[in-house]
Structure 1
Amino acid sequence: MGVEIRVEGLTKRFGSQVIWNDVSLTLPAGEISVMLGPSGTGKSVFLKTLVGLLKPDAGAIWIQDRDLTQMRERDLYEVRKLFGVLFQDGALFGSMNLYDNVAFPLREHTKKSESDIRKIVLEKMDLVGLTGAESKLPGEISGGMRKRAGLARALVLDPEILLIDEPDSGLDPVRTSYINQLFIDLNAQIDATFLIVTHDINSTRTVPDNIGLLYHRHLAMFGPREMLLSSEEPVVRQFLNAQTIGPIGMSEEKDADELASEEGQELPPLPPIPLQLSTSDGTPRRGERPAGDWCRANGITPPPGSFQSQNAGVPGVRHSEPTPTAEAPVA
């Protein structure tokens, strides 16, 4: 069962450099959230701060009515057991086979017998599709398999919160699609609270229940997927739709001359909002909402063509049911 994470006024600096300032958001229990941002905006730092590996300069992180920023190290150690973390490269021990890598947290943090450990490890490896690969070393497998092994290791302590850093880094589009579907299916099975850091716009448009965007040392926006995908806020619109017109430049922010040269240029229309991925077997998730629900509730007319399946007739691909009134003005 996932737990809510409430972040209030979080600020982090390294010396005189402000990474982000006064960040406040709530990660809903059991839902999938994605954090985006241009390179260098502190997304990985945000993950490390949430799990207590880095201490913020100001603010609070509330989990189960306890503020992580005020905990003693011994108490923080116990709270960290709520977390599972998937690092960018899997962070596997190169000298251990996959079985021992996945078993490591159980041997380190529990007093379970080897027979119990074996049962749990094989169950988690089966969950991520690695049955039969237990004896392989990390150097003998693909990047996608390493990420899945890292995910199995993150799952062995049955975490209530799963932090995932750049899961698509180094993966081709097909493997990225597989791991996206795996996240959706896992969320339905374990009901944990997911926070994924990614640059992949297609994943962001189809996987999460909520999206956040870090930009220029602050949280530009955080909210339901449909809210950000229909947003006219310049930085949100530019980043989520991979457009060149907007405040983001090659060095994060464009200067005044660059922005002035764009005045009067017509922005391309917002692309249709795609259907959110659904589970492989149709099992409902806690964070899943009917397509177009947020738009209807907030009087927003989504871009034409929104919520139409782009995989109709493709075997093995499941999506939420389209909303018939999605293209009509929303009352």
Structure 2
Amino acid sequence: MGVEVTVEGLTKHFGSQAIWRDVSLTLPAGEISVMLGPSGTGKSVFLKTLVGLLKPDQGSIWIQGQDLTTLRERQLYEVRKLFGVLFQDGALFGSMNLFDNIAFPLREHTKKPESQVRDIVMEKIELVGLQGAEGKLPGEISGGMRKRAGLARALVLDPEILLIDEPDSGLDPVRTSYINQLFIDLNAQIDATFLIVTHDINTARTVPDNIGLLYHKHLAMFGPREMLLSSEEPVVRQFLNAQTVGPIGMSEEKDATELAAESGMELPPLPPIALQLGTSDGRPRQGEKEPGAWCRENGVTPPPGSFASSHAGVPGVSRATGTAPEPVGA
């Protein structure tokens, strides 16, 4: 079962450079959250701060009644056992085969006998679909397989919080779709709290229960997926819909001249909100909500055609019922 993570007023500088200021949010227990933002906004720094690898200048990170920012090294070491981390490139040891890479945390942090280590490693290898590849070196497999091996290693200590840094980096769209489905299925099986940092808009639109956006040294918005996908907030709307019109420019923020040139331009309509990706076997997830529920509860009319799909059994269709709901706002 995942645990809730509450961040209050988190601020981080490197020297005189502010990375982000006064970030506050709550990652709901057992749900999948995604953190977005233009390149260089400190998303990876945020992950490293959450797990205690970097210390914030101000603020608190509350997990199970403990503020990680005030813990001593021994206490922090214990809390870190709640975390599993998948780094951008998998961070595998090049001289070890996949089995030994995945077994490394068990051998390093537990006193389990080798027979038990093997059982756990093979279970995680099967979970991520790498059966038969355990004897290969990282250099002998594809980027997608390295990501899955890194994920298996992040899972061997049965974490309650899973931090995932740009899982789509270096992957083609097909492999990205496979790994997105894997995250959905894993969340249903282990009920861990997921936080995924990504630039992939399709991932952000179809995978998470919650979305956050870091921009210009602050958290622009964080909340349920439907809230952000129906938002008229300029920076949120621009980023989530991959539009050129808006405050984000090539150097993160547009200057006054660029913004003036866009004055009076009509924004393209918001695209329909897609159905959230369902589990492969139809089992429900803890964070799964009925399509359109947030919009109805908050009196928001979603873009026309939202939550529609031509048939079940494809990415984005709720597999819990095997059918797609009627379009909302059509």
TM range (shorter): over 0.9
The residue aligned with 2:241 is 241
For residue 20 of structure 1, report the CA deviation from its aligned partner: 0.2
> Retained in 2: the 8 A contact 1:280–1:318?
no
Read off the aligned partner of 2:297 and give its amino acid letter: A
Q: 2:326 aligns with which of 311, 316, 324?
A: 324
For residue 323 of structure 1, report the CA deviation from its aligned partner: 3.3
CA distance, structure 1, for counterparts of residue 93 and residue 326 of structure 2: 50
Which structure 2 segments of 5+ residues have no match?
none
For residue 324 of structure 1, report the CA deviation from its aligned partner: 2.4
Read off the aligned partner of 1:121 and give its amino acid letter: V
The residue aligned with 1:208 is 208
For residue 325 of structure 1, report the CA deviation from its aligned partner: 5.9
Q: How does 1:1-331 map to 2 (within 5 A)?
A: 1-309=1-309, 312=311, 317=315, 319-320=317-318, 321-324=323-326, 326-327=328-329
Deviations 1:225-265 (A, max 9, x none): 00000000000000000000000000000000100110110
Read off the aligned partner of 2:21 and give its amino acid letter: N
RMSD: 1.0
Read off the aligned partner of 1:194 and give its amino acid letter: F
Deviations 1:68-118 (A, max 9, x none): 000000100010000000000000000000000000000000000000000
CA distance, structure 2, for counterparts of residue 317 and residue 15 of structure 1: 44
> Retained in 1: the 8 A contact 2:308–2:327?
no
User: Is the partner of 1:174 in helix, strand or coil?
Assistant: helix
Deviations 1:207-242 (A, max 9, x none): 000000000000000000000000000000000000
> Retained in 2: the 8 A contact 1:291–1:322?
no
> Retained in 1: the 8 A contact 2:275–2:316?
no
User: Is the partner of 1:44 in helix, strand or coil?
Assistant: helix
**Superposed structure 1 runs of 4+ greater than 6 Å apart:** none
Read off the aligned partner of 2:277 and give its amino acid letter: L
User: Is the partner of 2:74 in helix, strand or coil?
Assistant: helix
For residue 326 of structure 1, report the CA deviation from its aligned partner: 1.4
CA distance, structure 1, for counterparts of residue 220 and residue 54 of structure 2: 22
TM-score normalised per structure 2: 0.97
User: Is the partner of 1:177 in helix, strand or coil?
Assistant: helix
CA distance, structure 1, for counterparts of residue 236 and residue 162 of structure 2: 25
CA distance, structure 1, for counterparts of residue 306 and residue 140 of structure 2: 43
User: Is the partner of 2:81 in helix, strand or coil?
Assistant: helix
CA distance, structure 1, for counterparts of residue 118 and residue 42 of structure 2: 37
Count of residue pairs the alignment pairs up: 326
CA distance, structure 2, for counterparts of residue 54 and residue 101 of structure 1: 24
Deviations 1:180-209 (A, max 9, x none): 000000000000000000000001000000
> Retained in 2: the 8 A contact 1:280–1:317?
no
CA distance, structure 2, for counterparts of residue 323 and residue 71 of structure 1: 47
For residue 318 of structure 1, report the CA deviation from its aligned partner: 6.5
CA distance, structure 1, for counterparts of residue 327 and residue 193 of structure 2: 31
